[in-house]
Structure formats: C-alpha cells, structure tokens
Structure 1
Amino acid sequence: MVGLGLRREMLSELLAHVPKQVEFMEVAPENWLKLGGRFNKQLKTLTSSNNFVCHGLSLSIGSSAPLDIEFIKSLKTFFTQHDIKIYSEHLSYCSGTGHMYDLMPIPFTEDAIAHVVPRIKQVQDILERQIAIENVSYYAAPGQQLTELEFTNAILEQADCKLLLDVNNIYVNSVNHGYDAEAFLMGLPAERIAYGHVAGHFNEAEDLIVDTHGADVIDPVWQLLDRAYQVHGVFPTLLERDFNIPSINVLTKELDMIHALQAKYGRASLTKQPA
C-alpha cells in the first residue's frame, strides 16, 4: 500500500482526481482541526472516499511540560469524524515554556525513557488506540547514554506502541552520526511497524544532511527501503513532500517506485491500531 502526504497545495488536483497510485493519504491534524468552511468540506470529501492516517506535529511527547489533554481529546473527535486509520507522532519534543516550532531531540537516556513511556501510555489510553512513534532525524545528542536504536526499541517495548519507520531519517542520521544504516534498520522490531515514510533531503556537506522533505528521494534511500522490505516484510509506505511541491503527475513517478519495490515482496494494508 502506497501513500502521499496531503498538503493544501495539492487539494485542487486531488479533489479533481486521485491517481490510482495513491492508496492512502496523510495529514497533520494540527493543520486541519480548527478549519471550517470550504477547507473542512474539501477534507471531508477526500476522507470519505480514501484511506487516511494522521501524523502529528505538536504532541511534544518528550517535553517536560504537561500533556495537553484537551488537544488529545480533540484529536480523538477528529479521528472519528474522518475515519483516521493510524495516528503517529515524532519521538521528540517541541515545547517547554513555549512552542519552539521545531522538533528537538530527546536525550538518549534511561531517565528520558522513564519520562516518555508513561506519557505515550496516557495518550493511548485517552485515544483508546495504539499510536505510532516515528524515529526522527536529529543533529545533536546531548547527554547520550544509549544508542539511538537502544533508546527507540526501549520506548516501543515499554510503551507498547507502534513504529512509524522513516527510512530517510535512518539514512540522514547514519551520515550525520556515522553509524551503519542497515544495521539500525535490521535492529528494529518488524512486528511494531505500522507504516513507513520516505522523503528527500538537502546535502549541506559530505557529513551533514538536512532533512527537508523538499527534494526527490535519492537512490541510497530507495535502496534502504528495498532492504527494509526484505528484512521486515512489506509495510504501507508514504511519500512526504513539504515544499518545492511539483504537480501530482510528477509525484506519482516516486509513488510508482514504491509500488515497484513493494511488488517484489508482497502487499500490506493499513489497519486501525487497537488500544
């Protein structure tokens, strides 16, 4: 199953015609929750006839600030209204004394695990479903005591949540932090993968990649996705494009690539995650 991240710039094209390559779509709920009128009707038109997942931006699961319970309850209502199959969020934080409008890395420590795990469990209890947590790109690891893989696996196991496997982020982090991307990939638990992401990025330098979602997916990332299907089996995979967005007809070429890779190994479908 192959998906596309829905951006408002794509609305007119997708309302006129959803290409057969697009088998599900993803939205950031924060960008749609408070919209009424035309945009709300347009979204409902699409969610009524297509599979949708949500990828959050502001849950801030790693923050020291209390969880925003009213926000989480509003998510639950939104998910029901639009029949959202899966809700995912970043293994990071974006708030403290204020909202930082960026995804900051959680320290890879036992204390951080002890802090994050009950917060994920609380979110799952309120939503009455498992959520998926994304392995994020990061550019510094202050106070690191565990590897990224050890930290990620501990969160998944102890919180009993799912994984949004971002293949591009594995590649980006492997270059920026000098680890083996394939070894990281193979160390993840296949049974916890809800779905995956691929995207493009920007090469700032030979040893520094910035995760931008503003360019085409490169060959090493396609190769890593191929390896992911070999190791973990086929999982639903979505293409992210946040700016420099071409026409849907251009994006479908990358969607065709995902379809071709999946065809080598089998099919996968989206399933609602139980609590």
Structure 2
Amino acid sequence: MTTAAFPYGAGLGLRRALLPELLEMDAGAVDFLECTPDNWIKVGGRHGDGLARLAERFPLACHGLSLSLGGPAPLDRDLLQRTRVFLDHHNVAFFSEHLSYCSDDGQLYDLLPLPFTDEAVRHVAARIRQTQDALERRIAVENISYYAAPYQALQEIDFLRAVLEEADCDLLLDVNNLFVNSINHGYDATEYMAALPAERVAYVHVAGHYDEAPDLKIDTHGATVKADVWSLLEQAYRRFGPLPTLLERDFNFPPLAELLAEVEQIRVRQQAAQTWPEVRHA
C-alpha cells in the first residue's frame, strides 16, 4: 500500500485548459489538485511536463472516469495496471471512481446509473473489491447525478449504504449531485445525508449546475457553485467534519482568480467548521 499523504483542505480540478494558469499559481493558492489518470496516462510533451511540475508542487488526488465499476464487461485490467503505475509514480494516496457504469462493448461516454437492486449491490461491490486489490489502495466511490434509474427495488440511499458495506470502501460525497438528485427525484437531501455512514465519508466534491426548471436541475460542472449547494456543504461539515473538498469545473472556465475565490470559499467554511461544537473532528 502507498505511504503518500491523504489530501487535506481545499483543492481544484486539474484540467488541461487551465494548465498554463495553474503553472503560474502561487504555492498556497490551493491545498491539492485532483486529476483524472485516464486523461493523463502516457501523455508527454508540454502537457506531461506541466503535470509533472504541478505534481512536484502540490499533492495530487485522482478521480477516475473509465473503469465502469458497475458495467457488465470484465474490468479493464490494462487500465487498472496503468492507473496503479500512474498513482505510484505521482505518489497519490487517494483514488476515487463513480458508482456507475460507462461501457458495454465499448465506451458509452456517459456515467449511467445502476439498478438499485441487491443483485447490483453484489455485482458492483465485487468489482470495487477487485479494483482495490489491483490498485493496492482503498478507494472511494462517488454518488452520481442521474435523471432516470433503470430499476429501483431499493431506495437510492439504501443502495449506496449496501454497496459501501459490501465492498468495504469509502464514499466521495458530491454535494452538488446530492442536491441535484434531491430536487429531480423529490427527496430530502438533509435526511439522505443524515443516513450516510459517517465513518465511510472521506472526501467531498462541490460544483455548479444549471437550473432548467424549479424541479429539474442539470449537473454541468460549468458554472459557479450555487447558494443551496454551499448550504449543503456546510451541513456536510457539521455531520462529517471539514473533510478535504474539491471544486470541480470542467468547461466554461472563468479567469483562474475566480476559481480560486471559490476555493477560498471552501476554506472559509472549513475553518469555520473547526469552531462548531457539534462538528465531528478526526
């Protein structure tokens, strides 16, 4: 197992479009960066050099897109091996993937929801355990946003809890996804959060979304974080403590200063949470 340090504080997603500005960023601007190994494995030239330079200056967390943990096809052993080499090379302690699938006889280029059934729990949990063995790391899975579910014999929260227990893995809590799903599927985000097993929540994502209608939110990662999501993040800190938290932004990039101002909003909330008497501290 790796001896690298787990990320802490407030981080920003490492995107190629931001690379020139990130390379000029002050050392204290963020506490860590998060990248997707799938997009960087075997990348050389100025992009590869830029990644290497950033990895020397900032701790890295990694977030996968292509393992298709819930998919029907066998796990991509080659991708797992290359991912482990990448994590080892850059001394990465934290790796996460989505609780979804994205391939079936080829990439589908979307993160699709799993049926909320006992059979799906056993299937995806077994694949998470195989992934942890292959990467020689405990991983976290992320609650995804979804707009329709193939079958719901279980409630979403019960399905998630069962997967975490069966797989013996951690949770990457995406509070924007939780908010989006709570509106689109008509449940209480606070009650959902209260039902999460606190000992498994290891890391947090925040991001922006698009308000299509009062009862329809679209998870875009292309806008600033909205007030309701900031409020839900504060609830998460009250429940789980000021966990390491990443600002996700995937397109429609503003100047880096605006993104760093949002990262600073995370830090302000983390620092405030340190003073809340009800907050669980590690």
Report the CA distance between 1:40 and its aligned residue. Answer: 1.2
After superposition, residues 228-247 of structure 1 pair within 5 angstroms as 228-247=236-255
The match for 2:97 among 79, 89, 92 is: 89
Question: What is the aligned-residue RMSD (CA, Å)?
Answer: 1.5
CA distance in 1, matches of 2:137, 2:266: 28
Match of 2:174 among 145, 166, 181: 166
1:191 maps to 2:191 = no
Give the counterpart letter for 1:266 in structure 2. Q
Long gaps (5+) in structure 1: 268-275
What amino acid is aligned across from residue 72 of structure 2 in structure 1?
S
1:149, 1:241 → 2: CA distance? Answer: 26
Distance 2:34 2:253 in 1: 15
SS of equivalent residue, structure 1 residue 88: strand
* 1:19 to partner: Cα distance: 5.5
1:21 aligns with 2:16: no
Structure 1 residue matching 2:97: 3-state secondary structure:
strand
Cα pair 2:204 2:245 within 8 Å, conserved: yes
Does the CA-based 8 Å contact 1:149-1:184 persist in structure 2?
yes
Tell me, yes or no, if structure 1 residue 106 matches structure 2 residue 114.
yes
Query: Per-residue displacement from partner, 1:166-191 (whole Å, max 9, x unpaired)?
Result: 00000000000000001111111121
Q: Structure 2: how far apart are the matches of 1:92 and 1:23?
A: 28
Secondary structure class of the residue paired with 1:264: helix
Identity of aligned residues (%): 53
Provide Cα deviations, 1:45-74, integer angstroms capped at 9, x if missing partner: 111121111111100000000000111011
Runs of 4+ in 1 over 3 A off after TM superposition: none
Higher relative contact order (CA 8 A, sep 6+): 1
* Equivalent position amino acid for 2:149 in 1: A
Aligned to 1:151: 159
Q: Aligned partners of 1:177 and 1:17: how far apart in 2?
A: 40
- Deviation per residue, 1:71-116 (Å, 9 max, x gap): 1011000001111121100000000122110000001000100111
Structure 1 residue aligned with 2:233: 225
1:9 aligns with 2:17: yes
How does the TM-score come out when normalised to structure 1? 0.95
Correspondence 1:72 to 2:80 = yes
The question of 1:266 aligning with 2:274 is answered yes
Q: Is the Cα–Cα contact under 8 Å of residues 2 and 21 in structure 1 kept in the other structure?
A: no
Residue 251 (structure 1) aligned with residue 259 (structure 2): yes
Please give the alpha-carbon distance, in whole angstroms, between the structure 2 residues aligned to 1:135 and 1:216.
20
Instruction: Decide whether aligned partners of structure 1 residues 15 and 21 sit closer, same or farther in structure 2, where only a CA change above 3 A counts.
Output: closer
User: Given the alignment, which residue of 200, 208, 214 partners 1:206?
Assistant: 214
Letter in 1 for 2:181: N
Find the residue that maps to 2:94 and give its secondary structure: strand
